[in-house]
């Protein structure tokens, strides 16, 4: 009987896995893509959730309509926070479709990255791609939450002990 149960369990497992025909990785939290004309720019950050005042890699990939990485292009980035430009990465010519830029966020919140491609449009105009990148200060929220929960738990324990003593005195 035990062998029969094991056989059916293995059979069920094999059948379940055979039903899964494909698997996809999750998209990163701060990853986006945008098409303008015949070109697509993808952007992501490492780590997925950038922390304030820590090194972050901004990853960019530039492809054409056939999803082939561009051999050479000029790219610049303007970074906005609260509607004001706070930083810029000057235009530079890159030799392949992957670009990795080190960056440090100074403030938590939503940053707007405007990625400018200068020499890829057939009519010579600059293509500007707009992306939202969030930088967080998670440890601040975790610390505040931990202190609040600790205070609430302490209060609950004191109330429980006080009520227990009071109930035991009233029964005597």
* SS3 assignment, position 22: coil
**Residue range 32-142, CATH number:** 2.60.40.1930
| Residue 26 pLDDT | 47
Predicted TM-score (pTM) of this structure: 0.63
Pairwise CA distance, residues 51 & 113, whole Å: 16
Please classify residue 75 by burial: count the beta carbons closer than 10 Å to its beta carbon, then call 0-12 exposed, 13-18 middle and 19+ buried: buried
Q: Is the dihedral of CA 122, 100, 112, 27 positive or negative?
A: positive
102 half-sphere exposure, CB direction, 13 A CA radius: 3
Per-residue model confidence as pLDDT tens digits over 49-70? 788 888 999 999 988 888 888 8
Per-residue model confidence as pLDDT tens digits over 120-170? 777 878 888 899 888 887 665 566 678 888 888 998 998 888 888 888 777
């Amino acid at each position: 009987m035990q062998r029969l149960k094991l056989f059916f369990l293995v059979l069920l497992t094999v059948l379940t896995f055979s039903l899964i025909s494909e698997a996809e990785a999750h998209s990163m939290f701060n990853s986006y893509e945008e098409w303008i004309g015949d070109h697509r720019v993808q952007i992501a950050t490492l780590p997925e959730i950038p922390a304030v005042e820590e090194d972050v890699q901004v990853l960019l990939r530039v492809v054409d309509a056939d999803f082939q990485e561009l051999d050479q292009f000029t790219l610049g980035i303007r970074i906005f926070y609260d509607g004001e430009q706070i930083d810029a990465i000057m235009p530079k010519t890159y030799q392949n479709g992957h670009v990795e830029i080190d960056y440090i966020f100074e403030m938590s919140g939503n940053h707007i990255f405007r990625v400018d491609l200068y020499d890829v449009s057939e009519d010579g105009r600059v293509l500007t791609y707009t992306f939202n990148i969030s930088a967080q200060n998670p440890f601040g929220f975790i610390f505040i939450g931990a202190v609040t929960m600790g205070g609430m738990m302490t209060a609950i324990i004191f109330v429980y002990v006080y009520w227990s003593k009071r109930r035991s005195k009233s029964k005597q």
